[in-house]
Copies of this chain bind each other. A is one copy, B any other.
Amino acid sequence: MSASKKRPTLDDLDLSLGKRTRLHRILYEYGNKNGTALLLPIDQGLEHGPVDFFANPDSIDPDYQLRLAVEGGYSGIVFHIGLAQKYMKKYAGKVPLILKLNGKTAIPSDKYAFSPQTASVEDAVRLGADAVGYTLYVGSPAQGEDFIQFMQVREEAERYGMPVIVWSYPRGEAIEAKGGRDSLYAVDYAARVANELGADLVKLNMPEFDEKKMEQCPKPYNTLKLSPEEAVRKVVESAGKTMVLISGGSKISDEDLIEKARICMEAGVAGLIFGRNMWQRKHDDALQITARIKEMMMDYSA
C-alpha cells in the first residue's frame, strides 16, 4: 500500500476538540480500542420495515440489539431518535450512541430518493451521542434538497463538535440508468462526494461487478473489473481523509462474512457496520461471530 492509500487516523485529520474527543471514544475507548470501529446499526425497522425481524423474532425488540452491542463490545450502536430515547437509558455509557438524523420508509418509489430529517444534532447532544449519521442519496434528482439539508446538519455538527458519519448511497433513476447503485462507478463517486462535502466518516457498500450493468457505466468504469479488495481499496482512496466504514448488507454465512470483513480491513477501511448480519443471528451466534471479527480486526490497529 502506498503512503497515500493508508487509512487516515485521528492524527491525520484536522478535527475540533469535540469531534476528536467523541471519535476517540468510538475508536479507542470502546470496541477493539485499537483505532478500528465495529458498529451495530438498527435503523432497518424504519428503512425496510419490521420485515427484517422475521429471520430472528427476538430482534424486533431494540433491547436485543443493545444487549448484543454491550455484551459483544461494539464501538457503537446506531439508532433513530425514538429508539434512542426509549431504550438506551439503562445502557447509558456502556456503548456509544450514533444518532441517525434522517431516514425514510421503503414504501414509495426510490426514483427521486430523499431522506428527510427525523432528528437534529442538538437531539444527539442532548442524548449524549458520540456521532450522528446522515444518509446522502448521491445522484438522486433530489440532490438539491439533500445537499442543503446536509449542509445544515454539517454546520450544526461543527458547532457542537459532533462527528458526522455519512451513509453515502447512490440512489435514484439516474444512477440506475448508469449501471446501478452498487457499481464501482457509483460507490466510488459516492466516496468522493462524502469527502468533498465534509463527512468525518463515510459508510459505503462494497462495489459489485455485474457484467450486464457495467456496460451502462461511464468510461472507464464500464471495463474496469477489479477484485473485491482492489475495489474497496479504490473507494477508500476516493474517500481520502474520510474514514471508511463498510456495511454488511443482507445476511451471509459466517465464513463469507469474516472473509468480507478481512478484505475490507486489508483494503484500508477504518471499520465495519454490520447490522442484519449480526442481529439476524441468534444472540449466542451473534456474539460468537462478533468475537471472531473483532479478533481479526485486531490485526489492523492504527
Question: Within the complex, what minimum Cβ distance (angstroms) separates A263 from chain B?
Answer: 20
Are B240's CB and A61's CB within 8 A? yes
Complex Cα gap A62–B4 (Å): 10
- Contact count band on A: 35 or more
Could you tell me if B196 and A46 are in contact, using CB atoms closer than 8 angstroms? yes
Query: Which one, B58, B85, B88, B118, contacts A147 given CB within 8 A?
Result: B118
Say whether B87 contacts A241, CB under 8 Å: yes
Give the residues in chain B near A196, CB-CB below 8 Å.
43, 45-46, 80-83, 103, 118
Tell whether A49 is near chain B: CB-to-CB under 8 Å: yes
Which residues of B sit under 8 angstroms from A46, Cβ to Cβ? 192-193, 196-197
Task: Given A61-B4, A147-B117, A192-B45, decide whether A240 and B86 contact each other with a Cβ distance below 8 A.
Answer: yes
Of residues 55 through 83 on chain A, the ones whose CB sits less than 8 Å from some CB of chain B are 58, 60-63, 80-83
Q: How far is B13's CA from A195's CA once the two chains are assembled, in angstroms?
A: 37
Chain B residues with CB below 8 A from A116, complex form: 143-148, 151
Known: A46-B196, A196-B45, A238-B60. Contact between A220 and B83, CB under 8 A? no
Judged by a CB distance under 8 angstroms, whether A203 is at the interface is no
Within 8 Å CB of A87, what residues of B? 240-241
Q: How far is the CA of A248 from the CA of B173 in the complex (A)?
A: 31
Closest Cβ neighbor of A148 among chain B residues = B116
Q: Give the interface segment out of A106-114, A249-257, A277-285, A288-296.
A: A106-114
A198 within 8 A of B: yes
Say yes or no: is A93 at the interface (Cβ < 8 Å to chain B): no
Find chain B residues with CB under 8 A from A30 CB. none
User: Knowing A81-B198, A197-B81 touch, does A188 contact B50 (C-beta < 8 A)?
Assistant: yes
Kindly identify which residue among B188, B198, B221 contacts A82, using a CB–CB cutoff of 8 Å: B198
User: What mask results when residues 115 to 149 of chain A are scored 1 for a CB within 8 Å of chain B, else 0?
Assistant: 11111100100000000000000111111111110
**What's the minimum C-beta distance from A10 to chain B, rounded to whole angstroms?**
12
Q: Do A105 and B139 contact each other (CB < 8 Å), given the known contacts A61-B4, A148-B116, A155-B123?
A: yes
Asked whether B61 lies within 8 Å of A118 as measured between CB atoms, the reply is no
- Using A50-B189, A120-B151 as known contacts, say yes or no to A139 and B85 having CB atoms under 8 A apart: no
Docked pose: A119 CA to B80 CA in angstroms: 26
Q: Which of A165-204 contact B (CB under 8 A)?
A: 170, 172-175, 178, 185, 188-189, 191-199
Q: Which 9 A-B pairs have the closest CB atoms?
A: A107-B139, A82-B198, A116-B147, A49-B189, A86-B241, A116-B144, A108-B174, A46-B196, A45-B192
Q: Can you add 10 more A-B contacts, CB < 8 Å, to A83-B240, A86-B242, A105-B189?
A: A4-B63, A50-B189, A60-B240, A81-B196, A82-B197, A109-B141, A116-B143, A116-B151, A117-B147, A142-B144
